[in-house]
Amino acid sequence: MKSFLSVSDASKPEIDRVLARGKTIKASIKGGRSLSTLRGKIVGLLFEKPSTRTRTSFEVAARRLGGESIYLSANELQLSRGEPIKDTARILGGYLDGIVARVYAHDTVAQLAKHSGVPVVNALSDLEHPTQIISDLFTIQEAKRKLKGLNLAYVGDGNNVCNSLLLGAAIEGMRVRVACPEGYEPNQAILKQAEDISRSTGAEIKIVREPSEAAHAADVLYTDVWISMGDEASKEKRMQDFNGYQINSDLLKFARKDASVMHCLPAHRGLEITDDVIEGNQSIVWQQGENKLYGAAAVLEWLLRKK
């Protein structure tokens, strides 16, 4: 029984197989061909946070593969009345074949995985967002035909997405420069883990302050919101601290002419990215968003399909 709580829970061969399978699943769905690899499987979606893409992509993915899903709002479960996570996990594990969890604290998905007895997928925690990075790597591979050796610039908050992106890029041998204000660096333990992985894959990881330095000769520019869910209390300070950390047409001039722009959405146009860039010819944001479906399907199949 395997869970996917961190990008580092998957080896490079496993990630590569998931990406390849995502490509096959996408072709099948686009071609109108039915799939049945998860027939008879029921997946529970336990969400503490609101979601558009992650929830919809996992619900649709389960159905596209012939399985079923049940949405479980944490507010409607006994968790909201103080039931221990391990108790909920044991019961859900007895009912379901797998759990997809979108939570506030990473410890929640860790406890679900420890006590449920079924595969658990981290669909976002305060530490990581591994399934987002699967669809991101899939999208980059589609756009650039490769991953190893590409220059990726991440501009903004060193948040959960950034943490997972560092691990995924390190595993795949990419060169990553993260431009963030002081005090908003990625998680130090994950940064060290990514650096350790890089020594065997040829990847490069660098934290810088200037967005232009990160964007120099970049093949891919990536950003996320300045104010993530749970950070609303510090909105005013963050707005000041992230001033200048925006992907716009001026920043694009530092990147390669064929550079692609990514954003995991939802986007706040005029803050972390400008409208003309997200709607521009170099944007692969909508392709990236759609690919969350195929990434979700490939991850579910990897964890739940009978070998």
DSSP string computed for 136-189? HHHHHHHHHS--TT-EEEEES---HHHHHHHHHHHHTT-EEEEE--TT-PPPHH
Label residue 231 by pLDDT band (50, 70, 90): confident
The CA distance from 130 to 109, in Å, is: 12
Label residue 125 by pLDDT band (50, 70, 90): very high
Label residue 41 by pLDDT band (50, 70, 90): very high
145 has pLDDT over 60: yes
Report yes or no: 210 and 218 within 8 Å, Cβ to Cβ. Answer: no
In the chain, where does the domain assigned CATH 3.40.50.1370 lie?
7-128+292-304, 131-288
Cross-strand partners of 151: 175
CATH class of the domain at 7-128+292-304: alpha beta
The CA distance from 228 to 268, in Å, is: 11
- Per-residue pLDDT, 229: 76
- Per-residue pLDDT, 164: 98
What average pLDDT does range 80-85 have in this prediction?
A: 94
- Per-residue pLDDT, 230: 78
pLDDT digits (tens, 9 = 90+) for 252-281: 999 999 999 999 999 999 999 999 999 999
- Per-residue pLDDT, 233: 86
1 has pLDDT over 90: no
Report the residue count for the chain: 307
What average pLDDT does range 35-50 have in this prediction?
A: 97
Selection from 62, 23, 55, 73 nearest residue 40 by Cα:
62
Mark residue 82 as left, alpha or beta (left: phi above 0; alpha: psi -120 to 50; beta: remaining). left
307 has pLDDT over 60: no
The CA distance from 175 to 286, in Å, is: 24
132 has pLDDT over 80: yes
182: how many CB neighbours lie within 10 A of its CB? 7
- Per-residue pLDDT, 217: 98
- Per-residue pLDDT, 247: 98
Query: Cβ-count burial of 17 within 10 angstroms (0-12 exposed, 13-18 middle, 19+ buried)?
Result: middle
Selection from 6, 243, 220 nearest residue 106 by Cα:
6
pTM over 0.95: yes
pLDDT digits (tens, 9 = 90+) for 66-77: 999 999 999 999
Return the CATH superfamily for domain 131-288. Aspartate/ornithine carbamoyltransferase (3.40.50.1370)
Average pLDDT, the chain: 97
Selection from 273, 306, 301 nearest residue 121 by Cα:
301
Selection from 102, 119, 114, 46 nearest residue 78 by Cα:
46
The CA distance from 234 to 218, in Å, is: 31
